A and B are shown apart, each in its own frame.
Chain A
Amino acid sequence: MTSWLSPQDWQALALSLRVAMLSVVLSLPLALALAWLLSRKRFFGRTLVEALLFLPLILPPVVTGYALLALLGRNAPLGRLLADIGIVFAFRWTGAVIAAAVMGFPLLVLSIRVAFDSVDQRLEAAAETLGARAWRRFVTITLPLSLRGIAAGCVLAFARAFGEFGATISFVSNIPGETRTLPLAIYELLNVPGGMPGVQRLSLVALLVAVAAAASATVIAGGVLRRRP
C-alpha cells in the first residue's frame, strides 16, 4: 500500500482523517447539548435555532465557506480578535476542521435529536422518582438508550466532513500539506494532465474509508449495547 499511494496521497488521506475525526469529536458535546434542548425543552427562539441549524445543509457549501471567511478571516473582526491571542483559522488545517464541523453539525444534531426523541420519557420520570437528578438521568438513561442514534450521527457527520470540499476550499484554500484534504487532492489531480490514475487511487481510498467508518460504527453501537450490565 505504501508504494501504491504517493507521499502526497498519504498526506492528503492523513489530513482528511484528522480533520474529519476532530470535527466530529469537537462538535459532539455541543451537538449533544443542542439536540437535548431541541428534544426536551420548549424555549423562546427555538424555531429560529432550528432554521439556523439547517442553513449549512441548504446553503451552497461555497457560501458557507465564504461566511466563515467573513467571520473568522484574518481581516474579519472576530478573526482579528482571535489572531491577537494566537488563534488563526484562515488558510490553516484548523480552519478545515471548523469548515468540516460546520458542514457536519446539522446531520449530527438531527440524528442525535431523533435518538433522544425516541427514548421513552416515562423511563426518565421513573429514574427521577428514584432520586436521579437531571445530569444523572441524562448519563444513565437518555445517553445509553440513544447510543445507536448518536453513533449513526457521528458516522454521518464524519462522512460529510471527510467529503467536505466547497466550504473548505473557499475558507482555507487548497494548500498542499496544510489544507489539501483528500477531496481537494482529487480536484487538484483532475486539473493536472495525467492525473487520472491518481484520481482513481484516491477515489478508491475514499470508498474504503467510507465503508470502514460505516461498518465500525455499527459494530461499536452493537458492542456497547451488548456489554452493558
Chain B
Amino acid sequence: MIEFSMRHAFADLALDVAFRADVRTLALFGDSGAGKTSALNAISGLLTPESGRIVLDDRVLFDSAAGIDVPVAERRVGCVFQDGRLFPHLDVRANLLYGARARGANGPADFDAVVALLDLAPMLRRMPATLSGGERQRVAIGRALLAAPRALLLDEPLTGLHAEARRQVLDHLRTLKRELGVFTLLVTHHADEVAALADEVVLLAAGTVAAQLSRAEFVAGRAASS
C-alpha cells in the first residue's frame, strides 16, 4: 500500500502529485519531464519535497507537517536506476551482497533464490564492466531485492536496452512479480511495459496526476486512441 503526495518547485517544473494505491505493481507513466523520476526520488529519499506525505505499508517515510523525514539509508526501498549504477570496483557477487552487508547481515537467506530467479549464477565472479546492458540491469534488480526492501522502485529499467535484452529483463520482472510479494513501483514512458507488469497506472503530465487507471482501462484506452 502506498500513499503519496508531494509538492515541489523546480526551476522548470512545479510538481504537485498525489495518489494512493493498494496493488502489487503500480506504474507511473508519462513523458520525460512529467515528474516521474522526481516522485520516485522522493520515495527513496534522494529528493526532499518542499511539502507532502509518503507512507509505504503503514510506515511514514516523509511527512512535512509532522516533521518526519526518514534517512535514505533507513527507508529500505530497493532502487533500480536507469543506468544500473553497479559499483564498478566490486564483482557481481559483492554488488548483490552490498545491501545485506550494509545492514550487518552476512549472507541473505534468499541469495540463492534471487540468483536463480534472475539467472545470475554464471556471472557472479564477473566485474560490471564486462556485463551487457541487460545483464547489468538484472544484477541491479537482484542487488535491490537482496537489500530486503519494503518496495522495489524501478526507474525506466529497460530504457537503453536492445530488443532482446528488453524482452529478457521484462520476463525476469514478470517472474519476480509472480514469485515474490514485493510492492513494485515502475516508472516508464513505454506503454508496453505498463501493460506487461502493472496492476494499476498513474498517468503523470506536466507535474500533476492526469488519471489513475487499472491496467485494463489503460490498455483499452491505448487501443481506442491508436
Interface residues of A (CB under 8 A from B): 120, 122-123, 125-133, 136, 140-141, 144-145, 225, 228-229
Q: Is the CB of A129 within 8 A of B79?
A: yes
Q: Is the CB of B72 within 8 A of A225?
A: no
Question: A126-B85, A136-B102 are contacts. A131–B73 as well, Cβ < 8 Å?
Answer: yes
Interface flags, B9-46, vs A, CB<8A=1, else 0: 00000000000000000000000000000000000111
Nearest B residue to A128, CB-CB: B72
Question: A129-B78, A130-B102 are contacts. A229–B87 as well, Cβ < 8 Å?
Answer: no
Interface residues of B (CB under 8 A from A): 44-46, 72-79, 81, 83, 85, 87-91, 93-94, 98-99, 102-103, 143-144, 147
Question: What are the residues of chain B within 8 A of A129 when measuring CB–CB?
Answer: 44-46, 72-73, 75, 77-79, 144, 147
A164-B89 Cα distance, complex, nearest whole Å: 36
Minimum CB–CB distance for B74 against chain A, Å: 8
Question: What are the residues of chain B within 8 A of A130 when measuring CB–CB?
Answer: 78, 98-99, 102, 143-144, 147
Question: What are the residues of chain B within 8 A of A126 when measuring CB–CB?
Answer: 79, 81, 85, 87
Nearest B residue to A228, CB-CB: B89
Question: What are the residues of chain A within 8 A of B85 when measuring CB–CB?
Answer: 120, 122-123, 125-126
Nearest B residue to A136, CB-CB: B102
Question: What are the residues of chain A within 8 A of B78 when measuring CB–CB?
Answer: 129-130
Select A145's contact among B46, B89, B147, beta carbons within 8 Å.
B89
A144-B44 Cα distance, complex, nearest whole Å: 25
A228-B87 Cα distance, complex, nearest whole Å: 12
Q: Is the CB of A144 within 8 A of B89?
A: yes
Question: What are the residues of chain A within 8 A of B46 when measuring CB–CB?
Answer: 125, 128-129
Select A132's contact among B45, B79, B93, B98, beta carbons within 8 Å.
B98
Q: Is the CB of A131 within 8 A of B87?
A: no
What are 7 A-B residue pairs whose CB atoms fall within 8 Å in the complex?
A122-B81, A122-B83, A129-B77, A130-B147, A131-B76, A225-B89, A228-B89
Question: A123-B85, A125-B46, A126-B81 are contacts. A132–B90 as well, Cβ < 8 Å?
Answer: no
Question: What are the residues of chain A within 8 A of B90 when measuring CB–CB?
Answer: 228-229
A37-B90 Cα distance, complex, nearest whole Å: 25
Question: What are the residues of chain B within 8 A of A225 when measuring CB–CB?
Answer: 89
Question: A125-B46, A126-B79 are contacts. A131–B102 as well, Cβ < 8 Å?
Answer: yes
Interface core residue of A131, A141, A145, A229 (most chain B CB under 10 Å): A131
A75-B75 Cα distance, complex, nearest whole Å: 56
Nearest A residue to B84, CB-CB: A126
Minimum CB–CB distance for B1 against chain A, Å: 20
Minimum CB–CB distance for B120 against chain A, Å: 16
Question: What are the residues of chain A within 8 A of B72 when measuring CB–CB?
Answer: 125, 128-129
Select B102's contact among A123, A125, A132, A229, beta carbons within 8 Å.
A132
